[in-house]
Copies of this chain bind each other. A is one copy, B any other.
Amino acid sequence: MIEDREPIRVALLGCGTVGTEVVRLLQEHPTEYAARTGAPVRVTGVAVRRPHKHPDVPEQLLTTDAAALVEGSADVIVELIGGIEPARSLLLAALRAGKSVVTANKALLAEHGSELYAAADANGVDIYFEAAVAGAIPLLRPLRESLAGDRINRVTGIVNGTSNYILSAMDSTGAGYEETLEEANRLGYAEADPTADVDGFDAASKAAILASLAFHTRVGAGDVHREGISGIGAGDIEAARSLNRTVKLLAICERVIDEDGTESVSARVHPAMIPRDHPLAGVGGAFNAVFVEAESAGQLMFYGQGAGGAPTASAVLGDLVAAARNVVVSGKGPRESAHAQLPARAMDWTPTRYHISLDVADRPGVLSQVAATFNEHDVSISVVRQQGRGADASLVVVTHTAADSALRATVEQIARLSSVNEVASVMRVEGEQS
């Protein structure tokens, strides 16, 4: 009988909504977890700062001594503390003590992933982290394992629920950024301090993890170009709408191939307009989705809930079953694959496309002056639309692909043209052929 086998001992570090859910599910369905793992799965300790704040966790499991749990008899350590320290030191200690690790800590992995993967490898144990990106969506295992025989060219993700909630709401109500953020705050979709979400830090950590897996290359958070959504106004959303596009905060991981065949990896987070018929355009509210383009598989999309206690617990438990089963059968999950080690592409030299909306003087020759400026920077124009008359005269330009620095320089010079009253909106364009 499976139930009579030596149990796999699991210790949790940190126990917020996700941890509480993990403990609850393990204790409510012991037979199912035993069947899936090949042995009973037993929680033997839960390290928290304030034990009296955890009435849902059996008291005898609670401890304030995380280090003791890591050094103790557990087979698998589940880390749900978040942040860099003490999570990093605790996990390194756990791996060195021969324990497998399951973590949801995206910031830690983006900053110190290599160190952790190396420690896992050196000690013959596993590190799993499905919950670190896109919550419940099974994404990292497919990238690491299902697509291991393919060549991924691009990963484009909506990986921050708060930003996506705000942008979706701005799109459907026409309201401005500040107003929508306040509403999101009120409804619990944004933290009191939303910086990590709206300024793209959270998405940048996830982009680093995705790029590392997709391109078999070490990419850290520092390699990721990052722009948030706080500069987006109702005018930008309206401009997108008038072109049948919508604005999303995207994490983009791309294999860039130069004319001479040299490959590099661009990892970036910024808002961009995408066509309304793109599969990512319909991803509304706090949902996450990741669009993958691979050489053989073609286009794939993964969609689901990116955050929340139960969804994140689902991802953590999937990893826990895998790690525990490996303990039972003396197996081993996939190790870090960084054999390609492609260089990081600086944003300046990353090919992008811009949409630029200008308030212009209503007089002849404006278009030729603007077009000349694009020409000077070797930026080729895809679409121009002139609208309105008098004070309402406007010019909308969508470029072909060019180096981001050339596009930025073009916009700066255009802003100084006498015939241009104001640069009303500048936004990158993604998800369509250039």
Give CA–CA (A21, B36) in the complex, Å.
35
Chain A 115-157, CB-CB to B under 8 Å as 1, else 0, gives 0000000000000001000001110011001111111000000
- Indicate whether A68 reaches chain B with its CB closer than 8 angstroms: no
Contact partner, A35, options B295, B313, B319, B339, Cβ 8 Å: B339
Q: Contact check, A300 vs B136: say whether CB atoms are below 8 A apart.
A: yes
- Indicate whether A303 reaches chain B with its CB closer than 8 angstroms: yes
A151 to chain B, nearest CB (A): 8
Contact partner, A304, options B33, B216, B300, B334, Cβ 8 Å: B300
Q: Contact check, B36 vs A314: say whether CB atoms are below 8 A apart.
A: no
Give CA–CA (A136, B216) in the complex, Å.
20
Nearest 3 pairs between A and B by C-beta?
A: A149-B317, A138-B146, A138-B142
- Indicate whether A25 reaches chain B with its CB closer than 8 angstroms: yes
Contact partner, A149, options B294, B302, B316, Cβ 8 Å: B316
Q: Contact check, B321 vs A148: say whether CB atoms are below 8 A apart.
A: yes
Q: Which residues of A line the B interface, CB within 8 A?
A: 21, 25, 29, 32-33, 35-36, 130, 136-138, 141-142, 145-151, 216, 279, 282, 294-305, 308, 310-311, 313-322, 325, 329, 331-332, 334, 337, 339-340
Q: Contact check, B305 vs A297: say whether CB atoms are below 8 A apart.
A: yes
11 inter-chain pairs at a CB distance below 8 angstroms, sorted by A residue, are A32-B340, A35-B340, A36-B337, A142-B146, A145-B322, A147-B318, A295-B314, A297-B310, A297-B311, A303-B303, A331-B331
- A130 contact set on B, CB distance < 8 A: 146
Chain B residue at minimal CB-CB distance from A277: B282
Q: Contact check, A304 vs B314: say whether CB atoms are below 8 A apart.
A: no
Please name 14 further chain A to chain B contacts, defined as beta carbons within 8 Å, in addition to the given A138-B138, A297-B305, A299-B304, sorted by A numbering: A21-B296, A32-B151, A32-B340, A35-B337, A130-B146, A136-B300, A138-B300, A147-B318, A148-B318, A149-B316, A296-B310, A296-B317, A300-B304, A331-B331
Give CA–CA (A317, B138) in the complex, Å.
19
Chain B residue at minimal CB-CB distance from A334: B325
Given contacts A137-B300, A303-B301, contact A317 B145 (CB under 8 A): no
Please state the number of chain copies in the assembly: 2
Q: Contact check, A146 vs B315: say whether CB atoms are below 8 A apart.
A: yes
- A136 contact set on B, CB distance < 8 A: 294, 296-298, 300
Tell me if A's interface is mostly helix, strand, loop or mixed.
mixed
- A321 contact set on B, CB distance < 8 A: 145, 148-149
Give CA–CA (A340, B34) in the complex, Å.
12
Given contacts A137-B300, A138-B300, A300-B136, contact A149 B337 (CB under 8 A): no
Contact partner, A305, options B282, B295, B298, Cβ 8 Å: B298
- A146 contact set on B, CB distance < 8 A: 130, 138, 141-142, 315, 318
Give CA–CA (A310, B302) in the complex, Å.
20
Give CA–CA (A296, B313) in the complex, Å.
7
Q: Contact check, A296 vs B25: say whether CB atoms are below 8 A apart.
A: yes
Q: Contact check, A149 vs B320: say whether CB atoms are below 8 A apart.
A: yes
- A145 contact set on B, CB distance < 8 A: 138, 141, 318, 321-322
Q: Contact check, B149 vs A318: say whether CB atoms are below 8 A apart.
A: yes
Q: Contact check, A25 vs B297: say whether CB atoms are below 8 A apart.
A: no
A253 to chain B, nearest CB (A): 17
Q: Contact check, B304 vs A297: say whether CB atoms are below 8 A apart.
A: yes
Chain B residue at minimal CB-CB distance from A136: B297
- A334 contact set on B, CB distance < 8 A: 325
A110 to chain B, nearest CB (A): 21
A1 to chain B, nearest CB (A): 12
Give CA–CA (A294, B136) in the complex, Å.
10
Q: Contact check, A317 vs B150: say whether CB atoms are below 8 A apart.
A: yes
A328 to chain B, nearest CB (A): 10
